[in-house]
Structure 1
Amino acid sequence: MKNISDIIEDYLKQVFQLSENDAVEIRRHEIADRFQCVPSQINYVIKTRFTVEKGYIVESKRGGGGYIRITKIEHEDHLHMLDQMLRLIEGNGCTQASAGHILGRLYEEGALSKRECQILLNLMDRSVLDLPIEQRDILRGRMLQSILQTLKYKM
């Protein structure tokens, strides 16, 4: 059974599919009313499910006429997408969540099979990289950079 966050995410993705634009504007309170949840639940979904790693840019304007604009990042080709992902993790290391988002997007874009994605997710898990957090994130980032570089030149 899906939880409320999954349902809201599916709804917002459906809004994207029905839209002729690469961006949609929503009002947080309207979506919260629609799903009978608190507005902070909408914030949570947008913050965790519509990230740059997953291919979205989120802008918001507060106030009475405020809105949240979610823009789907479209790339000319896989090479541009991989370059953007490399820039995201360059020198910063990579959290397990961010690595999961990036690998998930690679799967959605057809750059990885479902099995390859799952193998890489397991490899980058904190239980496998049993190091202090900072070292773990740096190692995970290096591993992900190596994967992205390999994909970049094999596509």
Structure 2
Amino acid sequence: MSNLADRIEEYLKKVIEQTNEGFIVLQRGYLADFFSCAPSQINYVLTTRFTAERGYLVESRRGGGGYLRIVRLGLDPEGKFQRLMAELIGDDLSQERASNLIDRLKEEEIFTQREALLIKTIFSDRLLSGLVNCPSHLRARLMKEILANMCRDDIDA
């Protein structure tokens, strides 16, 4: 049986998939009661599994009328995608964040399974740490370049 965090994640993703709006609004207390856990467990799932790299934006308001809004970020073909990715990536990209982003792009079918595996291998700390002083800078630059080329329409097959 999967652990509690996995079950919470799976539940939230299923609820998001069932909406036409692309987002859900829930109360942290309701989720904690539903899963018989502390609200901090809900926070843990949201902060580790519903990140921008994984394709989600979480808005939260605490207190009596508090809520959680989880928005599934869409990837559009009009160039907003590259701007979003550039903002998301920034000047530094850790191996973990890169891996999450690659998984998301594989989910969106921008990368194939094979491409995702190759890029993750190239981006590994094990490989980059011995080659450059700041692997996170190089990883960010490489990811931006890869994405710019992956999204071009004029690539010859």
* TM-score greater than 0.5 by the shorter chain: yes
**What is the TM-score with the length of structure 1 in the denominator?**
0.87
Is the deviation greater in 1-10 or in 132-141? 132-141
Taking only aligned residues, the RMSD between alpha carbons, in angstroms, comes to 2.2
- Secondary structure of residue in 2 paired with 1:153: coil
Correspondence for 2:116:
117
Listed one character per residue, the Cα deviations across residues 41-60 of structure 1 (whole Å, up to 9, x for unaligned) are: 11111111111122221111
Aligned pairs for 1:132-151 within 5 A = 135-151=134-150
- Secondary structure of residue in 2 paired with 1:68: strand
Correspondence for 2:46:
46
Contact 1:85/1:102, CA 8 A, preserved across alignment = no
Instruction: Verify: 1:128 aligned to 2:124, yes or no.
Output: no
Structure 1 residue ranges, 4+ long, deviating more than 4 angstroms after superposition: 131-134
Listed one character per residue, the Cα deviations across residues 105-125 of structure 1 (whole Å, up to 9, x for unaligned) are: 110111111121122112212
Correspondence for 1:59:
59
**What is the TM-score with the length of structure 2 in the denominator?**
0.86
| Larger fraction in helix | 1
Listed one character per residue, the Cα deviations across residues 69-105 of structure 1 (whole Å, up to 9, x for unaligned) are: 1111223327432331122223x21111211121111
Aligned length: 154
Counterpart code for 2:105? L
Is the deviation greater in 79-88 or in 39-48? 79-88
Give the unaligned 5+ runs of structure 2: none
Percent identical? 36
